[in-house]
A = this chain, B = another copy of it.
């Protein structure tokens, strides 16, 4: 049985953090709170690791066209 890509995102809403890989080499991590059909994302408790240092970004509204992939983070 096939799974619709965007519906998979429902399974990780408000649960364990996801990793979002963005175009341009950025990778952020946060709790997914919402999304829409363009893959615009609302993320909470967002952290970005740059050169080994963690920058806390709080809540983020990401424009979908910047996303390469979303993955539940492995812990």
Contact = CB atoms under 8 A, between A and B. Distances in A.
Contacts of A4: 34, 36, 42
Identical copies of this chain, number: 7
Contacts of A10: 2
A15 interface: no
Contacts of A65: 63, 65
A22 B68 contact: yes
Contact of A62 (B46, B66, B69): B69
Contacts of A57: 71, 74
Interface in A27-66: 33-36, 39-42, 46, 56-66
Interface of A: 1-6, 8-10, 13-14, 22-24, 33-36, 39-42, 46, 56-72, 74
